[in-house]
């Protein structure tokens, strides 16, 4: 197992280096940080502006290869990913926003996966019954609804509940608000702000996975090995638990392993609507603010997570499928 992981990690390091380097050249060629100060009033002194750009390794008077070498040296020797045109350090931005996104993504993904798999199995076992048809309609409505609409609906519902109860049960702007003086007030404030965006991600993840799980489960239930198990005397519940479910979980395991890293940067709409300053929102901000170093850092962060997800996918598949061995 360890040998396999090390071999995969070596391959991923090479691929990641190529991808991040390509992103640096592309971002340097396409993004123009000088444009941020063109219409600034009062105009900024050109000498001062050039000094600011040079301090961030963004000067247009330096060749692209020289800037790349300076950036690569700083990253490899000092783990310094540079700064934005406004002077914000990328290391600090990534380290802070990473934990903000982790709170949201981890809980939403874990709960969404559990609920999605459970719903998918439940619907498959009750194929074409009333419960399955009602669930199918609700799932299709959810899948057809944009994320921003789901987020706004949850906010409206939460506001009405707050007014109806006369208590500020839900908070949905930012990651924290007014903290009371009672014991555990900080934890309660954390939960109040976390609940609604988690519900949005949970609905999206659970709906998508449940439809996938239902289809996979139906294929497994119709397979020959399940029929053989039933013919040997196993009940339907036993055949589902011990044979069909394990087989149907293999593609889900792969999907979940890749969805966790992608949701760090993929929860852009949710983070924007609820004003969570996470990695997803930061990714958009780096592009709109012409932050070359920030774009490259987010790409590297996403690439590392995808590599981790790919390794986890292999491990999960080997655990679920005894025919696969990591040799």
Residue extents of the structural domains in the chain? 91-320
Q: The tokens of 301 are what?
A: 């962060």
> Minimal CA–CA distance to 74: which of 322, 296, 226?
296
Asked if residues 109 and 259 have their Cβ atoms less than 8 Å apart, the reply is: yes
- Rounded to the nearest 5 percent, the helix, strand and coil shares of the chain are 75, 0, 25
- Say which residue the tokens 């053989």 belong to: 228
N-to-C CA span, the chain:
7
pLDDT at 267: 75
Integer angstrom CA distances of residue 252 from 25, 111, 321, 322: 36, 14, 12, 16
| CA–CA distance, 317 with 322 (Å, rounded to integer) | 9
Cis peptide upstream of residue 42 (ω within 30 degrees of 0) = yes
Asked if residues 36 and 291 have their Cβ atoms less than 8 Å apart, the reply is: no
pLDDT at 191: 82
- Say which residue the tokens 């990253």 belong to: 75
Superfamily of structural domain 91-320: MetI-like (1.10.3720.10)
- Say which residue the tokens 């958009």 belong to: 284
CA atoms within 13 A on the CB side of 180: 9
Integer angstrom CA distances of residue 135 from 59, 118, 138, 190, 221: 57, 12, 5, 32, 19
**β-bridge partners, 83:** 89
pLDDT at 253: 79
| Length in residues, the chain | 327
CA torsion 259-261-264-266 (nearest 10°) is -50
| CA–CA distance, 201 with 208 (Å, rounded to integer) | 11
Integer angstrom CA distances of residue 248 from 111, 223, 261: 19, 11, 22
**Per-residue pLDDT of the chain in tens (327 residues, 90 and over written 9):** 677 777 878 888 899 999 999 999 999 999 999 988 887 878 888 898 899 999 999 999 999 999 999 999 999 999 999 999 988 899 999 998 888 888 888 888 888 888 998 999 899 888 888 988 998 899 999 889 888 899 889 989 988 998 898 888 888 777 776 666 677 777 888 888 888 888 888 898 899 889 988 988 888 887 777 778 778 777 777 777 777 777 788 788 777 777 776 677 667 888 888 888 888 889 889 999 999 999 999 999 988 888 888 888 777 777 776 666 655
Integer angstrom CA distances of residue 212 from 111, 112, 142, 251, 254: 16, 13, 14, 9, 12
Q: What are phi and psi of 235, to 5 degrees?
A: -75, 170
Angle (nearest 5°) at CA 22 between 12 and 15 = 10
Asked if residues 22 and 325 have their Cβ atoms less than 8 Å apart, the reply is: no
pLDDT at 178: 67
pLDDT at 127: 85
pLDDT at 240: 75
pLDDT at 179: 65
| CA–CA distance, 158 with 164 (Å, rounded to integer) | 10
């Amino acid at each position: 197992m360890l040998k396999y992981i090390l071999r995969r990690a070596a391959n991923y390091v090479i691929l990641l280096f190529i991808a991040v380097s390509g992103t640096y050249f592309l971002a340097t060629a396409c993004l123009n940080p000088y444009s941020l100060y063109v219409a600034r009033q009062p105009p900024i002194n050109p000498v001062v502006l050039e000094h600011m750009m040079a301090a961030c390794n963004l000067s247009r008077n330096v060749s692209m290869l020289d800037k790349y070498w300076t950036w690569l040296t700083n990253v490899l020797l000092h783990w310094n990913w540079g700064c934005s045109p406004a002077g914000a350090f990328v290391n600090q931005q990534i380290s802070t926003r990473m934990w903000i996104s982790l709170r949201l993504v981890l809980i939403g993904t874990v709960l969404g996966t559990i609920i999605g798999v459970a719903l998918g199995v439940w619907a498959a076992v009750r194929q074409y019954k009333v419960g399955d048809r009602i669930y199918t309609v609700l799932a299709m409505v959810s899948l057809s609804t944009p994320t921003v609409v789901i987020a706004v609906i949850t906010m409206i519902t939460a506001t009405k509940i707050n007014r109806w109860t006369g208590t500020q049960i839900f908070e949905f702007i930012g990651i924290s608000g007014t903290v009371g003086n009672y014991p555990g007030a900080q934890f309660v404030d954390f939960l109040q702000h976390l609940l609604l965006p988690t519900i949005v991600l949970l609905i999206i993840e659970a709906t998508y996975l449940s439809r996938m799980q239902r289809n996979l489960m139906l294929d497994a239930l119709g397979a020959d090995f399940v029929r053989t198990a039933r013919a040997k005397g196993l009940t339907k519940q036993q055949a589902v638990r011990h044979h069909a479910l394990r087989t149907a979980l293999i593609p889900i395991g792969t999907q979940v392993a890749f969805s966790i890293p992608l949701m760090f940067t993929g929860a852009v709409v949710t983070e924007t609507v609820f004003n969570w300053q996470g990695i997803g929102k930061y990714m958009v901000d780096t592009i709109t603010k012409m932050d070359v170093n920030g774009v490259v850092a987010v790409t590297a962060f996403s690439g590392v997570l995808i590599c981790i997800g790919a390794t986890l996918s292999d491990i999960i598949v080997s655990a679920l499928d005894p025919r696969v061995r990591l040799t």
